[in-house]
Amino acid sequence: MGDGLKGLPPIASDPHDSSFSHVTGRSEYVDDRPLLKRELICGLVYSPYARANLKSTDFTQALQVPGVVEVVTAKDVVTNTWGTIFQDQPVLASTEVHYAGEVIAVLGAETPEALRMGLAQVKVEWEKLPAILSVDEAVSKKSFIGEERSIARGDVVEALKNSPKRLSGCLKIQGADHFYLESQAAVVYPKEEGQLEVHSSTQHPTETQHVVAKACGVPFKDVVCIAKRLGGGFGGKESQAAPIAAFAALMAKKTGRPARLALSKDDDMVITGKRNPFQISYDVGFNSEGKILAFDAKLFSDGGAYADLSTSIMERAMLHSDNAYFIPHMRVCGQVCRTNYHPHTAFRGFGGPKGVALIESVLEDVARETGKDALDIRKLNCYKPGEDITHYGQKVENNLLPGLFEKLETDSEYRSRREEINSWNQKAIETGGNPRGLSLTAVKFGISFTTRFLNQGNALVIIHTDGSVQVSTGAVEMGQGVNSRIASIVAEEFGLPLSSIRMMPTSTEKNANTSPTAASSGTDINGAAAQKACLEIKKRLAALALKLKDTSKELWPSKTAGLGTAPEIELGKEIETSLTQVAFENCQVMLRDKSFQLKFSDLVREAYLNRISLSEYGHYRIPDLGFDKLKGKGRAFLYYTQGVAASEVELDRDTGEVKVRRVDILMDLGRPINYGLDVGQVTGGFIQGMGWVTTENLVYNQDGFLLSHSPSTYKIPSIQDTPRIFNANLVHNEGNTVNVKSTKAVGEPPLLLCLSVWTAIRDAVMSYQGNKVIPMAIPATSERILRALTPEEFLET
């Protein structure tokens, strides 16, 4: 499998479609929209407690502040429940709050100063109630969301019993904040006859449209949601942007005035949910060579106060608990816990990072127990021919994993560096120096929504008579370059330069019933829909070109249409076969035998004058999906994006600080649509994940209120945290023919490779501690590293 695996050389790439406007500061985000006359600025009143009765509220003094206009409460909401999977969350709480940050009222004012003064005058009387603030407490009280799920293969109990060696343990994984640069924001304009135009920083315009409509008591047809671009989303705006828009919409409806709500970073972090924390217990059986024979895991996640997307997140964690490795007897059980934290939600990778963290950590432990190198344990257990069926019954097709391991082992000089690090660590133990660690981990990330009906998308392609093209899809541009990729697909289909293509803002009046831009499938679904639309237009244009070839120019539509001096050219059965004879290249449309060619723009004009449609709506649904959620079996994904990463770290013996000395990444992204954007996603995703596993520590007080709610108390990676040596390369793979243009999704998979940093930290700690198996929670903060390196210094006296 790995023989002949070749790296992909850097390829000249078109820039991000908004790169110039980003750099010059001209890119327009929601809160950049100019203020209109009489527009109101909104602020939120929310709970400081994890759980409390709302005994009384008094807005009298707040409404007397000059410039404060109106307040919206639960009594103004027509349908006061919403939820992406379960309808269990109030838009505005009325009698009881279930997490710190739950919103009870929206205040509208004419100026920021008036809003600030008005919010300070709101009087609320609370009665604190007992709250559940840990997974353990939720389990003991059976406070759950949904039913326990199980995915299993083989006889795990018997296989564990018969395994020569066994290990068990518990892995704790904290959440992380999305920390998008643009906080949650929405502007709503009331229109005639009760219509509402919503501009939202949302990954899911359709859900935002529906939540707004239900909250305001209007039909979906009277709400249009528009998302031009997002200043980052990472999953945090998939579901949780909807109530933010609803708050502004309720104010706009009640007052008849435009309403704007743009959260501060502090309010955003306090109110919105995070990556789900997980607590996992496991039991693994293996032989003396390190071959895993049986694996049993119980996953508990913290869903927060309401369901949001947590049950689907748990499902993906269970589906990815095998990662890149074949395990003959495997059982994974998952249960979402209901606690009194903000409802946790989608985050880049969804549940995948938790499942992958689990098995990669276990492999490190198995390596320690067998006295072997962890890379050899990974290669031994890797999916390969004959061992290529997942625990949910899907075959791992187009499997490059063995070759990726082999190539990166060579490219990263893993073996020689391992020897050097072993020598270094021996000296560190003797002298009290800084230990180093090295780890090479993999990712096999399934691409598709695991909820089948979400795997659909649509696109509207319009060609204007000058030959320029407008494209509208359900994909939301949130910095990842989805618009650039779809524009490239359309440009390639028509043989046009990218400058001829204009991607339009995502709008529910042009692309309805859309899926969220999530699950790394934005280009896959919407790009394929755009391609289908292009092909239908091309068939008509190509058929017309064939007709024009045999028609005297004096009888072309451009010569006759105005006066009607010749009949229109009728397109016949040749439409269906026209593309086999006609090519679209370099702004020309030509017969493949070179006997006739015409400028694209000229052919478009002839088509218009001949009353041939120059627009098309394309709908695409991902084929061949058949995952039975009840049985935990079937084809859950269209394909897998694969990759490996080798990370080397050094731990400061005195401070616990992590220095990432070198990272080498090798990814299989099929045939990249845009090489530069893909490599950017690989490196950016890795660094974002690296923050999650090292420095991003969420700290709450005893009332469940987030204390680390600002850049000063929550540390995302900076330029100083990036690897000193950072190599990211792609491999050549034309084999993913099931996807548009043979490409592979890149949004989420690279993030999971950050776990190589965490396992490298564990490698350094365990080497320093005589190769004992030592647990390490995520994130591996400086304090946790110090406690692991020198536990004797933290003993209570």
- SS (HEC) of 481-505: CHHHHHHHHHHHHHCCCHHHEEECC
**1: pLDDT confidence band, cut at 50, 70 and 90?**
very low
Judge whether 410 lies within some domain.
Answer: yes
Across the range 259-273, mean pLDDT stands at 98
* Separation between Cα atoms, residue 2 and residue 4, nearest integer Å: 6
| CATH code, 41 | 3.90.1170.50
| CATH code, 536 | 3.30.365.10
Together in a domain, 51 and 87: yes
Together in a domain, 291 and 325: yes
Together in a domain, 414 and 497: no
Closest CA to 45 of 72, 64, 75, 76: 72
Judge whether 749 lies within some domain.
Answer: yes
Q: Which two tokens stand for residue 143?
A: 């406070």
Question: How many residues are present in the chain?
Answer: 797
Together in a domain, 774 and 656: yes
Together in a domain, 241 and 289: no
Active site positions, annotated:
748
Asked if 660 contacts 724 with a C-beta cutoff of 8 angstroms, the reply is yes
Across the range 200-206, mean pLDDT stands at 98
User: What CA–CA distances, in Å, run from 472 to 32, 400, 651?
Assistant: 22, 35, 49
Together in a domain, 190 and 233: yes
Together in a domain, 658 and 751: yes
* Residue 3: pLDDT over 60: no
Rounded to 5 degrees, φ, ψ at 271 are: -80, -40
- SS (HEC) of 154-169: CCHHHHHHCCCEEEEE
* Residue 329: pLDDT over 80: yes
Asked if 778 contacts 174 with a C-beta cutoff of 8 angstroms, the reply is yes
Q: What is the pLDDT of residues 488-519, one digit of tens each?
A: 999 999 999 999 999 999 999 999 999 999 99
* Residue 6: pLDDT over 90: no
Together in a domain, 576 and 652: no
Rounded to 5 degrees, φ, ψ at 28 are: -100, 125
Judge whether 3 lies within some domain.
Answer: no
Q: Which two tokens stand for residue 739?
A: 């996807």
Tokens 């043989």 -> residue: 495
* Residue 424: pLDDT over 60: yes
pLDDT score of 311: 98
* Residue 2: pLDDT over 50: no
Neighbouring residues of 172: CB distance < 8 A, sequence distance ≥ 6: 277, 278, 279, 280, 777, 778
Tokens 């919403």 -> residue: 82
For 413-416, the CB contacts below 8 A with 24+ separation are 414/375, 414/438, 414/440, 414/646
Asked if 316 contacts 351 with a C-beta cutoff of 8 angstroms, the reply is yes
Together in a domain, 585 and 605: yes
Together in a domain, 418 and 467: no
Neighbouring residues of 368: CB distance < 8 A, sequence distance ≥ 6: 766, 771, 772, 773
* Residue 362: pLDDT over 70: yes
Judge whether 112 lies within some domain.
Answer: yes
CA 29 vs. chain centroid, Å, equals: 20
* Residue 15: pLDDT over 80: yes
The DSSP symbol for 101 reads T
Rounded to 5 degrees, φ, ψ at 474 are: -85, 0
Judge whether 7 lies within some domain.
Answer: no
Give me the domain span that covers residue 730. 278-450+628-794
* Separation between Cα atoms, residue 394 and residue 157, nearest integer Å: 23
Q: Please count the structural domains in the chain.
A: 3
- Which DSSP helix (H) or strand (E) runs through 261? strand 259-262
Task: Identify the burial level of 57 via C-beta atoms within 10 angstroms of its C-beta, where 0-12 means exposed, 13-18 middle and 19 or more buried.
Answer: middle
Judge whether 164 lies within some domain.
Answer: no
Together in a domain, 666 and 562: no
The mean of the pLDDT values for the chain is 97
Asked if 698 contacts 174 with a C-beta cutoff of 8 angstroms, the reply is yes
Determine how β-strand 329-337 pairs with β-strand 292-302.
Answer: parallel
Together in a domain, 610 and 557: yes
Tokens 């293509």 -> residue: 501
Given 621, 646, 675, the domain boundary residue is: 621
Task: Identify the burial level of 513 via C-beta atoms within 10 angstroms of its C-beta, where 0-12 means exposed, 13-18 middle and 19 or more buried.
Answer: middle
pLDDT score of 4: 64
Q: Helix H segments across 519-646?
A: 522-549, 557-560, 600-609
- For residue 132, list its beta bridge partners: none
Given 228, 262, 296, the domain boundary residue is: 262
Closest CA to 727 of 669, 648, 663: 663
* Residue 7: pLDDT over 90: no
Sheet order of strands, 436-447 included: 7-8, 725-731, 658-668, 639-651, 436-447
Judge whether 109 lies within some domain.
Answer: yes
Q: Which two tokens stand for residue 182?
A: 């643009």
Judge whether 602 lies within some domain.
Answer: yes
Q: Which two tokens stand for residue 512?
A: 């309805």
Model pTM above 0.75: yes
Using DSSP's 3-state secondary structure scheme, residue 297 falls into: strand
- Residue 732 half-sphere exposure, CB side, CA atoms within 13 Å? 9
Given 621, 654, 683, the domain boundary residue is: 621
- Which DSSP helix (H) or strand (E) runs through 685? helix 675-694
Q: What is the pLDDT of residues 696-751, one digit of tens each?
A: 999 999 999 999 999 999 999 999 999 999 999 999 999 999 999 999 999 999 99
pLDDT score of 797: 58
